[in-house]
A and B are shown apart, each in its own frame.
Chain A
Amino acid sequence: SQTIHQWPATLVQPVGSPLSLECTVEGTSNPNLYWYRQAAGRGLQLLFYSVGIGQISSEVPQNLSASRPQDRQFILSSKKLLLSDSGFYLCAWSVRRVAGAEAFFGQGTRLTVV
């Protein structure tokens, strides 16, 4: 069966420090991968999606970047965190090129920038 791992679960970082959140998927190949952010009281917002190794697309301009060094690994990074980067970050995957494919989410990372 397919599983998605996301870590760490919680993170407190000072302003200006770097960030690296990692997400890995098991039990599937060539997945579409996604990073979402959820601000308090708001819906999830798509930050990045990837349809293959090294292929990253961004939905919104921001202080963050993403990379996909391996087929089932998706990394969210920042060189210098801002207070506004605080939020709940979720990684997700779906089967590529299948209409109505289910999107499976990780357990999320609660990031607090202080």
Chain B
Amino acid sequence: KNQVEQSPQSLIILEGKNCTLQCNYTVSPFSNLRWYKQDTGRGPVSLTIMTFSENTKSNGRYTATLDADTKQSSLHITASQLSDSASYICVVSDESGGYNKLIFGAGTRLAVHP
């Protein structure tokens, strides 16, 4: 069964600190891996998209890594800000069917405290 597993389930850090979120997947076929940020009660917003040939991609203070061999990805957040408090969702895309079949992880809920 295609699955996307994320850890930790929740995380609390102090403002200014760094953190790393983990994602393991068993989705096949695999087209690309995405990280989304979702504020409570809102739709997800894309942070990064990586194909299997990309090892790392950055978007400001967010840096995602991908190891397609071990099927693992991580999202590193540097110098956290209060506005980073949200759920971070790992999403694997299977586009073999001609459309974006997005398989979502359950997310990591991050709380940044002052």
Give 8 A-B contacts (CB < 8 Å), ordered by A residue: A43-B103, A49-B101, A97-B98, A99-B31, A100-B31, A100-B95, A103-B100, A108-B43
Q: Which of B63-71, B77-85, B104-112 contacts A (4 or more CB under 8 A)?
A: B104-112
Nearest chain B CB to A31's CB is how many angstroms away? 10
Interface size class of A (residues with CB under 8 A): 20 to 34
Cβ-closest chain B residue relative to A33: B99
Is A67 interfacial (CB 8 A cutoff)?
no
The distance in angstroms between the C-alpha atoms of A112 and B49, with both chains bound, is 33
Taking a contact as CB atoms under 8 Å apart, the answer to whether B99 and A107 are in contact is: no
Q: Report the 3 A-B pairs with minimum CB-CB distance, sorted nearest first.
A: A105-B43, A43-B104, A44-B104
Interface residues of A in 9-26 (CB under 8 A from B): none
Taking a contact as CB atoms under 8 Å apart, the answer to whether A108 and B41 are in contact is: yes
Taking a contact as CB atoms under 8 Å apart, the answer to whether A43 and B106 are in contact is: yes
